[in-house]
Amino acid sequence: MPSWRSFGLTIVLAFIACGPQPAAPKTFVVPEASKAPVVRKFLPNASWVHPAPEAEVSRVFDLFYKARTLPRGGQFDVEALRGLVAGAYADYTMPLFDREVTDAKAGVLQQVTFSGISVSVVEWFRGKPFTATCELPCPPPPVNPTPWFAHAVVTRTRTEVRAGASPSQQTATYKFGLRRETSGDDGVIWVVDDFVNPANGGWVSQPPPISDLQVAAELNDFFAEFYSRRSLAPGHPMDLGRSDQLVEGSYKAYTMPLLKRTQAEAESGALTEVRYADLKVRLLSWDPGATQHGGLALAEVARTSFVTRPSGPEPPQTATYRFRIHRHVEIESVWLAVDFLRPDVNRWVSDLAGTTVLLQGAGHA
């Protein structure tokens, strides 16, 4: 979805008249978003060190819907709303609000009111601890500056009056995400920064769903790097640090000790080369909603490994393995191999905790 901060565009619509002479082209200039700085105001009667989520969030939405109210003969409070929204929700809602502002200025939209506003906080949690660097001696840190977050469900009835039409009403219930911050003193600043879009049931902050074709393409890139980091050649050591970043969960507990043993063999001179070729990745299934922070793919990976020792090369090993790979999207989209089907026992390593299995040699999955 285009950002409401995008540059204004000029759309030229040419209309051809029915008569012999063409009508003059008509133009419409989409207004640019306000370049004035966003002003965040402290929430009245709120204390940073004495949080009261239910009361504070209710007051936030009182201000929120007041800014969206259009009195007869008046105007919307655009700057007040800009100060109350942020992030993905601002990108979502401001273009919609701009249309209402345009209609109001044109006299098409004459009045907007809200009634029956009911607010319920369903989640309330604190973010990651505050960390900062400074030159010694460091000044005293702010008082507990870690932000708070809230999810709230809001029901309201919106009544609008348009020129030449009877008043219309819409009662709806929505879910919002909010962030509670402080500037360092006891003041509290709230912003609405997320929203569950009724059109698809997902948070607007979440990336759009991806196709199986895109998943397959990303997995090809993932396993190309996965096996490259596990490769060993003269002047090309294994990259255990990056390999560790590509795995998680049960598979990390299984594979990293094996990789470290392979590295130890290389350092001792007992192993001179490990390389992979003929890599083929096939997506078997993709569940985009497997977790709250990303989907889970089941993939089949075929490859041939070549292992060389001082005594000479070992016979090439061609094998096909199955992996579970998680697409983590909480901060950014990254793939992590989280599970592996051991072909010798036909069980996932996530099911093998506490059991005794044979160790794998160099060139393992």
13 domain-assigned = no
Q: Do 182 and 255 fall within a single domain?
A: no
- Nearest Cα neighbor of 125 from 150, 103, 142 is 150
Q: What is the pLDDT of residue 294?
A: 84
Spell 19-47 as b/e; 16+ CB within 10 A means b: eeeeeeeeeeeeeebeeeeeeeeebeebe
The CA distances from residue 113 to 159, 219, 344, in Å, are 5, 50, 68
Q: Is the pLDDT of residue 197 over 70?
A: yes
* Domain final residue, candidates 203, 225, 244: 203
Q: Do 182 and 59 fall within a single domain?
A: yes
The tally of domains found in the chain comes to 2
127 domain-assigned = yes
347 domain-assigned = yes
The answer to whether the beta carbons of residues 295 and 288 sit under 8 Å apart is yes
198 domain-assigned = yes
Residue scoring higher pLDDT (178 or 16) = 178
Q: Is the pLDDT of residue 24 over 80?
A: no
Q: Do 281 and 344 fall within a single domain?
A: yes
Distance CA 281, CA 287 (A): 17
Q: Where are the alpha helices (DSSP H) in 277-338?
A: none
* Domain final residue, candidates 203, 223, 246: 203
Mean pLDDT of 192-215: 89
The whole-chain average pLDDT of the chain stands at: 85
The CATH number for 123's domain is 3.10.450
Least confident residue range of 2-11, 40-49, 182-191, 250-259: 2-11
| Residue 248 belongs to domain spanning | 212-351
The CA distances from residue 267 to 33, 87, 244, 313, in Å, are 60, 49, 19, 18
Q: Do 180 and 217 fall within a single domain?
A: no
Q: Do 272 and 238 fall within a single domain?
A: yes
Q: Do 103 and 43 fall within a single domain?
A: yes
Could you tell me the pLDDT band of residue 329, with boundaries at 50, 70 and 90?
confident
Residue scoring higher pLDDT (197 or 331) = 197
Spell 285-300 as b/e; 16+ CB within 10 A means b: ebebeeeeebbbbbbe
Mean pLDDT of 306-311: 96
Could you tell me the pLDDT band of residue 4, with boundaries at 50, 70 and 90?
very low
* Domain final residue, candidates 157, 184, 203: 203
Q: Do 151 and 286 fall within a single domain?
A: no
Q: What is the pLDDT of residue 3?
A: 40
Distance CA 159, CA 105 (A): 18
Q: Is the pLDDT of residue 19 over 70?
A: no
Q: Do 276 and 306 fall within a single domain?
A: yes
Q: Do 230 and 173 fall within a single domain?
A: no
CA 215 distance to own-chain centroid: 16
Q: Do 187 and 266 fall within a single domain?
A: no
Q: Do 94 and 160 fall within a single domain?
A: yes
25 domain-assigned = no
33 domain-assigned = no
Q: Do 307 and 161 fall within a single domain?
A: no
Q: Is the pLDDT of residue 231 over 90?
A: yes
CA 199 distance to own-chain centroid: 18
357 domain-assigned = no
Mean pLDDT of 133-142: 50
337 domain-assigned = yes
Mean pLDDT of 166-195: 93
Could you tell me the pLDDT band of residue 111, with boundaries at 50, 70 and 90?
very high
The CATH number for 253's domain is 3.10.450.100
